Amino acid sequence: MTITRRAMIALAAGAAASPRFTSAASPKSVWWQEAVFYEIYPRSFQDGNGDGIGDFIGMADRVDYLADLGVDAIWVAACFDSPNADNGYDVSDYRKIMPDFGTMRDFDNFLERAKKRGIRVILDMVFNHTSDKHSWFMKSSSSKDSFYRDFYHWHDGRDGAAPTNWRSAFGGSAWTLDSHTNQYYLHTFTNRQPDLNWENPRVRSELYAILKFWSDKGVDGFRFDAITSIAKPLELYDLSAQDIAAGRSFADRGERLHAHLRDMYARCNADSRLYFVGETWGADRTLFVELTQADRHELSAGFPFDLQMKDIEDGWRKTPCKLSDLRAFNAGNAFDNEPGVWPVIWLEDHDFPRSVSRYGSQKPEFRSRSAKMLAIMLLSLRGTPFLYQGQEIGMENYPFTSIDQFNDVTAHNVWSEQVGGHHVTSAGMLANLAATTRDNARTPMQWNAARNAGFSAGTPWMLVNPDYRTINAAAQTGDRNSVFGFYKAMIKTRKTQPALVHGKYRDVSPDNGAIYAFRREHPAGNTLTVMNFSDSPEIFRIPQDVKPARVLIANIPEHSIVEPSLTLEPWEGMIIAI
């Protein structure tokens, strides 16, 4: 049998190459299971007032762009008032928009525009900690007798040192001595981010009131930052040397965590209308299932991190990305045996490098094709897809040449520890950080080939990737063969094929070192996704029980399937109805 892919050019323009389903929904599905999300990192998305910083004015102006892409919901990353010790993840006022990003009126206008285009909005909620400039902490640190003292974790030192040997996620001790009260406060991250005490019911009530404030405004859910760290041990203890070496957290990820999440869900989302998605950092498979199982009413879903850390050791050291790791992660993340678990599927966010630079081809001639192939993979897996700004145009990592170019506080901390301690050479550390730093995701969005990539009329807060002259949205939105055009077509394809959303997952190439192929099986029809993760042509033998019917989408328009094998060009991918 020979099946051509001539229809792919039309599909990239938005035409369907196969009969459309009226809905990809399962009878019991909820809105966020069918949605494609798009994360906006406000500081780097679009500057609307010329001060070099992205804002809600700029975001509102780009709602039509996102509607054209076809996304259903927007996740707005940290946007509340903050002194920016960690780029907004140190909140000083949860009911105020960060002045850098505009006013509440600007936010309301953005939300209204999004709603008019049928796009939902969820907000980042940083509830593990606040800024040290939050009024709660300022009052808490004013006196041991303060009403707000037990809003945070305060303890006496031990033998002239910190209460325990716990380590901060950003390096150094997790305890900082307050000279005014002569006690230590706990911080999972920097000492500018003191941890809230969730054992205090007054703290929980304050946080729940914040959720109500924003849900009353019309937001559709929340992404909870560092949510697996909110529960702390009721008794202090030291971690073993082995635990510290392994990077084990001191957080209590047992029943206290579950109890807090169940309480928040019951108090704030009893009707399950809101999407409660957690950053489930440090959760193994068992804990992830417990946190996200629908009938437990803790979280709607979670971001799994197993894949994201496979090629990044110690938080900064770059290691090779293996197809076997990608394959194993996707198989496990399907959760076919856990129907009540609905994961997030993602390749990029504001904390990780660009997916094309990590998983795609490093050869310029295959960059665009590999970006499209990654779109095929991401959008044909079970779960809720999250895209990150710039992913839809194939933005790449920044070509860093000096430590002075980094904004990432983690990068500077690691540099001081490793290079300053003579453990790693400066050249070696630069190469590693250039591949792993969070800054790769935080360079300004590349809108066009004009000055500053069209991001700002002023001086951008962050370096603009010099490749913006060739990789930008303006060059792609009108091109059906561009990465943007392909993402748009792939989103449409996902929405017309129930198997791509709800189907069972089955790997049909488990031992292939270059070809990754998997089936999605659903009563409404089955699909086969086939991809070549290499810079050379590869032959894939079609399984005997697979009968190709038609090609739904492919990143190379003209090709043929000749059973019983298929020759795939470098970084070629396709989805076949079977």
Catalytic residues: 225, 279
| Sequence-distant (≥ 6) Cβ neighbours of residue 179 within 8 angstroms | none
- Let me know: does 354 contact 468? Beta carbons within 8 Å: no
| Sequence-distant (≥ 6) Cβ neighbours of residue 343 within 8 angstroms | 288, 292, 301, 302, 304, 333, 335, 382, 383, 384
C-alpha to C-alpha distance for 309 and 538, rounded to whole angstroms: 28
Q: Name the residue among 259, 315, 322, 321 with its Cα closest to residue 291.
A: 259
Name the residue with tokens 């008794």.
Answer: 235
C-alpha to C-alpha distance for 290 and 134, rounded to whole angstroms: 32
Give, in order, the Cα–Cα distances in Å from 444 to each of 52, 192, 381, 440, 472: 10, 26, 29, 10, 11
Give, in order, the Cα–Cα distances in Å from 434 to each of 119, 225, 464, 546: 34, 25, 15, 43
Three-class DSSP category at 529: strand
Give, in order, the Cα–Cα distances in Å from 202 to each of 87, 136, 228, 285, 345: 27, 12, 20, 32, 35
- The strand pairing partners of 275, in sequence order, are 221
C-alpha to C-alpha distance for 533 and 568, rounded to whole angstroms: 10
Q: Name the residue among 340, 414, 412, 422 with its Cα closest to residue 382.
A: 340
Angle, alpha carbons 383-386-389 (nearest 5°)? 170
- The strand pairing partners of 155, in sequence order, are 184
Query: Which string of DSSP letters, residue by residue, matches 366-427?
Result: HHHHHHHHHHHHHTTSSSEEEEETTGGGT--------GGG---HHHHHHHHHHTTTTSS-HH
Angle, alpha carbons 92-96-101 (nearest 5°)? 100
